[in-house]
């Protein structure tokens, strides 16, 4: 069995591997609340455009 035949051989329908950022397709640091599906880096860039306001700090 070669690496190509094993890599991504099973479907990713649930779990961390199935979800990615809708902007940059990054899989780590995902914010799923309110169905945002943005990684934390993209959220910091786009939060003002979306309408989030920083309350503290």
Specify whether the CB–CB gap between 52 and 33 falls below 8 A.
Answer: no
E-strand stretches of the chain: 30-31, 38-39
Q: What is the CATH number of the domain that holds 30?
A: 4.10.830.10
Residue 41 domain flag: yes
Residue 42 domain flag: yes
Residue 28 domain flag: yes
Which of left, alpha, beta for 34 (phi over 0: left; psi -120 to 50: alpha)?
left
How far apart, in whole angstroms, are the C-alpha atoms of residue 39 and residue 23? 8
Residues 14, 37, 50: CA angle, nearest 5 degrees: 165
Residue 1 domain flag: no
Full domain range(s) for residue 36: 19-47
Residue 9 domain flag: no
Q: Using one digit for the tens of pLDDT, what is the confidence trace for 1-52?
A: 678 888 878 888 999 999 999 999 999 999 999 999 999 999 999 999 999 9
| Domains in the chain, number | 1
Residue 1 confidence (pLDDT): 66
Residue 11 domain flag: no
Please give the model's pTM, rounded to 2 decimal places: 0.77
């Amino acid at each position: 069995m070669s690496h190509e035949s094993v890599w991504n051989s099973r479907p990713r329908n649930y779990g961390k591997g199935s979800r990615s950022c809708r902007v940059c397709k990054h899989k780590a640091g995902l914010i799923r609340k309110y169905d945002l599906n943005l990684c934390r880096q993209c959220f910091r860039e786009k939060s003002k455009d979306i309408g989030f306001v920083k309350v503290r700090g």
